[in-house]
Amino acid sequence: MAVTLEQAQRVGYTCLKALLRFAFMVANNLVAIPSYVLYLIILQPLRVLDSKSFWYIEGVLFKWLLAMVASWGWWAGYTVVEWGDDVKAVSEDEAMVLVNHQATGDVCTLMMCLQDKGTVVRQMMWLMDHIFKYTNFGIVSLIHGDFFIRQGRAHRDQQLVLLKEHLEKYYRSRNRKWIVLFPEGGFLRKRRETSQAFAKKNNLPFLKHVTLPRLGATQVILKTLVAPQENGTPAGRDAVIKESKSKSLQWVIDTTIAYPKGEPIDIQTWILGYRQPTVTHVHYRIFPVKDVPAEPEALTHWLYERFIEKEDLLTHFYETGAFPPLQGQTKAISREMTLSNLWLVGIQSLAFLSGGMWYCIFQYFYHCLF
């Protein structure tokens, strides 16, 4: 079939736009990430004298870096509509965020839609596959204190021990509030067949849009971060709850990401922008941690229930283009998530100005020494 001039022009424009976006992303990384590292090296004396202030500044820089990633999608027309509970109401509390996992773009989507949730972005910890440690953003996540987990049965027990140690060492000392994990343990397309076979063998529901979650990391987080007696059953005395609340996980936020027609956005699309503008839909349900069981068998059942609910939510979304209303509501309410273009331009400008400043400083010292 012959290609028309209009089609050729469209392809050429898409390729040119992708090339320019890629060049900008590379330049952005070359100035923003080294600047983040260098600022924190200069601030090491503050880390010794006033650790709280150091991690506050680090959190602000971290949020700006995530905003830069969000801007790549935002300017390509990849926006977010939110449904369900309003998580802004618990943005200052400690929470565990459980997310379904379809593609690398899920992380970028979260980086975008959490930007307007108060201090969440700068005070959050991510659990991600160890392979991300070797990406361009790996050094940032290492400094910030995210946890890289190795998948596979051979590593499982050791990784859970390391996760517990990591949480005890870094979570509260760096004033973290939210911790984000993907309990499925991998992308939907990679785990679906194995999950369905496991479900059939154990007489569990057949899931198409999500996979059955794994218990390990969720259980470790709850055991490590929830105050005694608060998980599974209410604490015996109100005074105990009040005293422990500021230093205890208080909520579980069940987050479901849905893409139109079930076609997820990957990181390549997010960077190059060759896909048409797309609205990603994110649904939240908030559970008090006291309603989450502590015993492994009961917790496994509770976690399975959440992903069975996700299956129902996604089935409804793919059939109707919207999520169903929450219990007690007659109509589902959606909220369009927005970012300020002026703010994004300001952050990008600061990154390039910082890169120029560090270059001038290094040039000065180079000429002084040589």
Evaluate if residue 140 carries a pLDDT over 90. yes
The C-alpha atoms of residue 29 and residue 46 are separated, in whole angstroms, by 26
Average pLDDT of 150-173?
A: 88
Q: What is the pLDDT of residue 329?
A: 80
The C-alpha atoms of residue 35 and residue 25 are separated, in whole angstroms, by 15
Instruction: Determine if residue 203 is left, alpha or beta; phi over 0 gives left, psi from -120 to 50 gives alpha, anything else beta.
Output: left
Residue 244 pLDDT class (50, 70, 90 cuts):
very low
Q: What is the pLDDT of residue 17?
A: 87
- pLDDT tens sequence across 250-281: 999 999 999 999 999 999 999 999 899 999 99
The C-alpha atoms of residue 216 and residue 307 are separated, in whole angstroms, by 16
Sheet strands side by side (includes 278-288)? 147-149, 124-129, 178-181, 95-99, 251-258, 278-288, 78-84, 334-337
Residue 239 pLDDT class (50, 70, 90 cuts):
very low
pTM of the complete model beyond 0.85: yes
> What does pLDDT average to over the chain?
89
The C-alpha atoms of residue 158 and residue 12 are separated, in whole angstroms, by 50
- Of the candidates 249, 228, 78, which has an alpha carbon nearest to the alpha carbon of residue 180? 249
CA end-to-end span of the chain? 64
For tokens 């994004």, name the residue. 344
- Of the candidates 304, 124, 86, which has an alpha carbon nearest to the alpha carbon of residue 203? 304
Q: What is the pLDDT of residue 189?
A: 87
- pLDDT tens sequence across 295-319: 999 999 999 999 999 999 999 999 9
Q: What is the pLDDT of residue 250?
A: 95
Evaluate if residue 221 carries a pLDDT over 50. yes
Residue 230 pLDDT class (50, 70, 90 cuts):
low
Q: What is the pLDDT of residue 243?
A: 38
The C-alpha atoms of residue 186 and residue 86 are separated, in whole angstroms, by 27
Q: What is the pLDDT of residue 330?
A: 81
Evaluate if residue 236 carries a pLDDT over 90. no
Evaluate if residue 201 carries a pLDDT over 50. yes
Bridge partner list, 129? 149
Q: What is the pLDDT of residue 232?
A: 56
Please give the share of the chain, as a percent, with pLDDT higher than 90.
71
What SS3 string covers the chain?
CCCCHHHHHHHHHHHHHHHHHHHHHHHHHHHHHHHHHHHHHHCHHHHHHCHHHHHHHHHHHHHHHHHHHHHHHHCCCEEEEEEECCHHHHCCCCEEEEECCCCCHHHHHHHHHCCCCCCCHHHEEEEEEHHHHHCCCHHHHHHHCCEEECCCHHHHHHHHHHHHHHHHHHHCCCCCCEEEECCCCCCHHHHHHHHHHHHHHCCCCCCCCCCCCCCHHHHHHHHHHCCCCCCCCCCCCHHHHHHHHHHCCCEEEEEEEECHHHCCCCHHHHHHCCCCCEEEEEEEEEEEHHHCCCCHHHHHHHHHHHHHHHHHHHHHHHHHCCCCCCCCCCCCCEEEECCCHHHHHHHHHHHHHHHHHHHHHHHHHHHHHC
Q: What is the pLDDT of residue 4?
A: 79
How far does CA 277 lie from the centroid of its chain? 21
* Cβ-based neighbours of 113, under 8 Å, separated by 6 or more: 80, 82, 282, 337
Q: Which two tokens stand for residue 33?
A: 């990430």
- pLDDT tens sequence across 35-89: 999 999 999 999 999 999 999 999 999 999 999 999 999 999 999 999 999 999 9
Evaluate if residue 144 carries a pLDDT over 60. yes
